[in-house]
Amino acid sequence: MGQTTIAILTDQSSQAQNFVKNLLSGKETTVFKSLDGKNGLLFSRSEIERYMDQEERHDIKILTKNTTQSLKSMSSGEQKKALLNYLITQQPDFLVLVNPFDNLDTKTRQNLRDTLCALSESKTLVQLVGRLEDILPVTTDFYSLNKNELMAYPSSNAFWESHKKETTKFKGRIPQPMETVNLQSEELVNFNNVSVSFDGRQVLDNINWNIKQGEFWQLIGPNGSGKTTLLSMITGDSHKGYGQKLSLFGLKKGSGESVWDLKQKIGYFTPAMIDKFRGYHTLENMIISGLHDSIGLYVQPTDTEKRLAHKWLELLSLSSKKDSLFKELSMGEKRLVMTARAMIKHPPLLILDEPTAGLDDKGASLFVSLVNKISRETTSAIIFVSHRKEIGLHPEFNFVLEMKKTGSVGKIIPYANT
Ligand SMILES: Nc1ncnc2c1ncn2[C@@H]1O[C@H](COP(=O)(O)OP(=O)(O)OP(=O)(O)O)[C@@H](O)[C@H]1O
């Protein structure tokens, strides 16, 4: 007979962090009586970051004892595996899993799902998940967390009935930019047989990828296949592109363009950016800051800039919050604002790196419809990186990285064939 497996569905209102803290310190055990006096451990992205920080700061190995690689340089899948293995060796009575499948590709997700289902035979698992599809099939007890209030469902049927999917749409059109960015070439990115190795191990093998103005690409590949490595060559954050046949916006890599020139042509958003600043800026200033390539605004905005920001806020149905602080927004709202910030100039290339990770179904569906809209109504090319096949996302092409012993190879699959 298996143990209790608990699922708690979270949404943008949930005070999940607080809840988890109380649960692990024994303060929530009035609801979960079976956990009273038991020892629980946490499996979450924040724990990986905490161990990453400890390993780096003190130059020690905790999760990475059996490898020479640093936790930081591992792919998300490798990091999660290392954390889970470590937690199991600590023999906890129960595990709290916060969005365990985020940032994982289909196969790694399936493997982790199987491992967790097997683990549920001997340990109590408490899942806090924002996406319905992430709930383990072995779940016995269902709850939802509204702000800090836990609501119990009498049966799994009652739970699934009350969470049928909804879809949401935006009203109005994407606001036009103040000026257009000059382009020397319609070809924005050209990888011509580009390969990348780390410490003698080839990670990317002869990549050929040509991205033209206005195209909508989804970049897909298993954990560790080299998606981040590819993107960092485009954004100028990796030197691996030098000396190879890589052209960006019509210029060969290394032919004198500055990282600044590159950043002018690229709008970039990844959820980790949100953690980089404290969020004491108004929404209006956050969006305008996209015109100045800063996070937050440090100069007085002009009236034209303010008008443009208002148009974006209107589109996002956030006008009433224009003077609110960015940090007061829900996670989903923050991502919409960050995307508006990345798009305000209509950069020739918009890169969205796993932008829906950690969102609940409603938040993800809203985000996806904004991206589809940007693709339809602007000439910006889009690269959308995601492990999940996002329901409702309509890219024109998939660039699929397939892992081989000699490094990942890239395949182009038109969306119509997927
Ligand atoms: N600086 C580095 N030093 C050593 N190995 C590295 C370094 N950067 C990346 N790697 C390795 O290269 C491979 C590709 O990593 P990359 O982060 O690009 O994959 P990914 O597809 O983005 O993975 P994920 O989806 O999990 O984020 C991984 O095996 C990773 O461990």
354, 393 contact by CB (below 8 A): no
pLDDT at 1: 43
Ligand 1 neighbourhood includes 221 CB (under 6 angstroms): yes
Tell me the best of 195, 198, 233, 385 to mutate to test the pocket of ligand 1, counting ligand atoms within 8 Å of each CB and taking the most: 198
Fill in the amino acid letter for 414.
Answer: P
What residues does 381 pair with on adjacent strands?
A: 349
Using the atom order of ligand 1, give the atom closest to the CA of residue 77. Answer: 26
pLDDT at 409: 97
CA angle 359-364-365, nearest 5°?
A: 155
Ligand 1 neighbourhood includes 198 CB (under 6 angstroms): yes
Q: Which ipTM was obtained for this model?
A: 0.97
What residues does 32 pair with on adjacent strands?
A: none
172, 315 contact by CB (below 8 A): yes
Query: In this structure, which residue's CA is closest to atom 4 in ligand 1?
Result: 198
DSSP label of 275: G
Ligand 1 neighbourhood includes 365 CB (under 6 angstroms): no
User: What six digits make up the tokens of 328?
Assistant: 């007061």
pLDDT at 277: 66
Which domains does the chain possess?
5-161 (3.40.50.300), 187-417 (3.40.50.300)
Query: In this structure, which residue's CA is closest to atom 30 in ligand 1?
Result: 74
Q: What is the mean pLDDT of each run of 10 residues along the chain (418 residues)?
A: 82 86 82 84 93 87 85 88 92 94 85 91 93 89 88 84 65 87 88 94 96 94 91 88 86 78 89 77 90 76 93 92 88 93 96 91 89 92 86 88 95 74
CA of 225 to the centre of ligand 1 (A): 7
